[in-house]
Structure 1
Amino acid sequence: MQQWLFIRTLLGHVPLVVKLLFAVLGSGVLAGALVHLLEPERFSTWFEGIWWAFITVSTVGYGDFVPESTITRVVAIVLIFVGVGFMTLLVTSFAGAAVSINQSAKEGVISFIGEDHIVVIGWNERSRQSIENIQLALPQIKIVLIDETLDELPKEFKNVHFVKGNSSEDSILKQANISLARSVLITAKHQGSEFTADARSILTTLAVKGQNPDVYTTVEILTKEQLANAKRAGADKCVESTTLTGSVLTSNLLHQQTSDVINQFLEYNEKNLLEFELVTEKLVGRSLIDTLPNFYKKGMLIIGLKRSGQILFHPHSSLLLEPNDELIVIKSNKAT
């Protein structure tokens, strides 16, 4: 009695699709074995009997094997009613499971199982543009979007995995597989006060770094006062969007077409024409003015220098290049 209860409990935890699959396989093998025993002349091997049974169950019916005796035909009738019924249920169960998984993926309840992906947190026009730019620059990279306001992922982003929920919760970050992510972008939520939005971004940063301290994290901050707190939370890069927008508006007001220049500069970046070139050993010790002609001949214009984490735009021409320096260059479309 206890063994029977154990078997019932065990079977209760087996998915319906698995049960139906075993039912189809079992009925096919049993019927194939019976027709081989009943008509060994026509079904000369076990495999031929099983082959006929599965062809019958699948409703293909090649007609290469046909039972002749009455008892074998009775077995065929039973197989058609039982086996075909199981097969129909199996196919519909697979179809239902596929539809359910697809709907669950749209609603953001399926966990992401990849690695080396980019996680974008928060849905807004900035994150939309960021996803589009990432897909253009790195079409092979996987992107995971975390947001709690969307009901389902927008249709235009078919290659983005959506996770619905609060990004500061560990369970939601685990669902996005944050521990194996390449980088994270945290956008500010423009609802309520700017202080509340920044506090939420900082809390998300703490949660992200708690699960993956090494992941490169870029955080959008709205108030200058919270920059230090975001860095203390572990943000690798803070972008003060309000200040950037205000500076562009002011510059465009004082110097018309400034925004056009900035937009064109950003287009170079989106098209992967803005690059950081590591200074080679041959260039170490040479002045910046000496390196300009060679780079220009290659279709690259030096506009700045990155040294010790600092960006220097339009450095002095006599500046000597040092090891680990990176030249900021704009490549032309014809550059090789």
Structure 2
Amino acid sequence: MSHTNIVSRKFSRIPYLLKLLSIVFVFLFLFGTLIHLIEPDNFPKITDGIWWVIVTISTIGYGDYAPKTLAGRIIGTILILTGVGILTSYFASIAKVAISKEEQFLNGTKIFNGSNHYIIVGWNERSKTIIEEIHERRHEQAIVLIDNTLRQHPLPRTNIHFVHGRATVDDVLLKANIREASLVLITTDFKQNEMQTDMFSILTLLAVKGLNPNVYCLVEILTQEQKENARRAGADGLVETNKFASEYILHFLLSGKAVEIQGEWFGIHIAELAMQHEWAHLTFQQLSNLLLEQDILLIGIMRGGKRRLKPPAHSPLQANDSLLIMAESY
């Protein structure tokens, strides 16, 4: 292979913007040097010539430097006809790259390059609540969402990174930078039957552990049959959604306490309990201890329409707060 071909191949590997920027610099230096050689009295330094080239092709035209000779004006004419186009192409290319990056971010095709991030697999009400809570409480924590059903980023106005695809595919996990992740949460998809859902979760777990054996994996499991399989596949923690929900509902059916089902978090049904007058002066820790004596687990509060899970232990409760509870099972 000839030396020319080798140089050509190496140049072709350079990013397009860097190539274009190199051409702009060569162009500035070439015309700046040329006008300095043609009119050394008017442009005593090469830097004066380069400054004139920059001002001219950017169409600013300060007028502090201008060619006086016929040859200099011919150079200036050539510069205007060619230089403006080169500079416009450069800035247009920058804008195109920026738009392309934004499209990749929205479509879920952009590679995540951060580290120590959380990866959440599956977009549903549980994962949405978890992401929003983490984002609100620990804004600096990087989060990557992997989902195959979404066509666009579900939270485009946040710094949450979205990767479109199945988490069982290595390329998708690598886009999420699985090797640098600190935690992976695999949620279930209730649109499928329970056995298929658990099998997909375990397959995802195997793919994750195959690329990063040390990452902490929390897996949501629906069936008792797949619980041990998930542990064998390397699950560091299990969330048994159906078991928690059943025990919670059973407890309140047997206890006869009137509660309203508020929603789901991690597959656990959370109940909202009205604040009683005698509780309003207590701290969160004091009321938590009091309710534990009644086999009721206090996990958070609703204040001003916002859910706050596990607030500071010594934070005082307010009369208009609602309590978020989950009772211990019998």
Distance change in 2, residues 1:260/1:195 (3 Å) = closer
Could you say which residue in structure 1 is the equivalent of 2:43?
A: 43
User: Residue type matched to 1:301 in 2?
Assistant: Q
Alpha-carbon offset, residue 144 of structure 1: 0.3
1:301 to 286, 290, 298: 286
8 A contact 1:301–1:329 mirrored in 2:
no
> Equivalent residue of 2:286, what SS?
strand
1:332 to 314, 319, 322: 314
> 14-23 or 67-76, which moves further after superposition?
14-23
Alpha-carbon offset, residue 264 of structure 1: 5.4
Could you say which residue in structure 1 is the equivalent of 2:32?
A: 32
8 A contact 2:147–2:167 mirrored in 1:
yes
C-alpha separation between the residues in 2 aligned to 1:84 and 1:121?
49
Could you say which residue in structure 1 is the equivalent of 2:165?
A: 165
C-alpha separation between the residues in 2 aligned to 1:299 and 1:189?
34
C-alpha separation between the residues in 2 aligned to 1:93 and 1:80?
20
Alpha-carbon offset, residue 132 of structure 1: 0.5
Could you say which residue in structure 2 is the equivalent of 1:100?
A: 100
User: Residue type matched to 1:107 in 2?
Assistant: N
8 A contact 2:283–2:315 mirrored in 1:
no
8 A contact 2:187–2:220 mirrored in 1:
yes
C-alpha separation between the residues in 1 aligned to 2:141 and 2:68?
60
C-alpha separation between the residues in 1 aligned to 2:156 and 2:88?
35
User: Residue type matched to 2:286 in 1?
Assistant: L
C-alpha separation between the residues in 2 aligned to 1:84 and 1:222?
64
User: Residue type matched to 1:19 in 2?
Assistant: K
Alpha-carbon offset, residue 184 of structure 1: 1.1
Deviations 1:26-57 (A, max 9, x none): 11111111111111222111111111111222
- Long gaps (5+) in structure 2: 263-269, 274-281, 294-309, 318-330
Could you say which residue in structure 1 is the equivalent of 2:258?
A: 257
8 A contact 1:248–1:259 mirrored in 2:
no
Could you say which residue in structure 1 is the equivalent of 2:129?
A: 129
C-alpha separation between the residues in 2 aligned to 1:331 and 1:133?
18
C-alpha separation between the residues in 2 aligned to 1:159 and 1:243?
34
8 A contact 2:119–2:176 mirrored in 1:
yes
Residue correspondence of structure 1 range 1-336 to structure 2 within 5 A: 2-156=2-156, 158-254=158-254, 255-259=256-260, 262-263=270-271, 300-301=285-286, 331-334=313-316
User: Residue type matched to 2:84 in 1?
Assistant: V
Deviations 1:132-172 (A, max 9, x none): 11112211100001111111211455211111111112222
Distance change in 2, residues 1:12/1:74 (3 Å) = same
Distance change in 2, residues 1:205/1:157 (3 Å) = farther
- Between the two proteins, the alignment pairs up a number of residues equal to 285
> Equivalent residue of 1:210, what SS?
helix
Distance change in 2, residues 1:210/1:20 (3 Å) = same
> 203-212 or 72-81, which moves further after superposition?
203-212
User: Residue type matched to 2:314 in 1?
Assistant: S
Question: Over aligned residue pairs, what C-alpha RMSD do you find?
Answer: 2.7
C-alpha separation between the residues in 2 aligned to 1:74 and 1:57?
15
> Equivalent residue of 2:152, what SS?
coil
Could you say which residue in structure 2 is the equivalent of 1:323?
A: none
Alpha-carbon offset, residue 2 of structure 1: 3.2
> Equivalent residue of 1:162, what SS?
strand
> Equivalent residue of 1:219, what SS?
strand
Distance change in 2, residues 1:205/1:75 (3 Å) = same
Distance change in 2, residues 1:236/1:62 (3 Å) = same
C-alpha separation between the residues in 2 aligned to 1:155 and 1:232?
34
C-alpha separation between the residues in 1 aligned to 2:258 and 2:36?
86
8 A contact 1:122–1:147 mirrored in 2:
yes
C-alpha separation between the residues in 1 aligned to 2:42 and 2:287?
83
> 103-112 or 210-219, which moves further after superposition?
210-219
8 A contact 2:106–2:156 mirrored in 1:
no
Distance change in 2, residues 1:8/1:176 (3 Å) = same
8 A contact 1:301–1:330 mirrored in 2:
no
Alpha-carbon offset, residue 189 of structure 1: 1.7
Alpha-carbon offset, residue 329 of structure 1: 9.8
> 55-64 or 84-93, which moves further after superposition?
55-64
C-alpha separation between the residues in 2 aligned to 1:217 and 1:66?
68
C-alpha separation between the residues in 2 aligned to 1:190 and 1:196?
10
C-alpha separation between the residues in 1 aligned to 2:114 and 2:124?
24
> 160-169 or 253-262, which moves further after superposition?
253-262
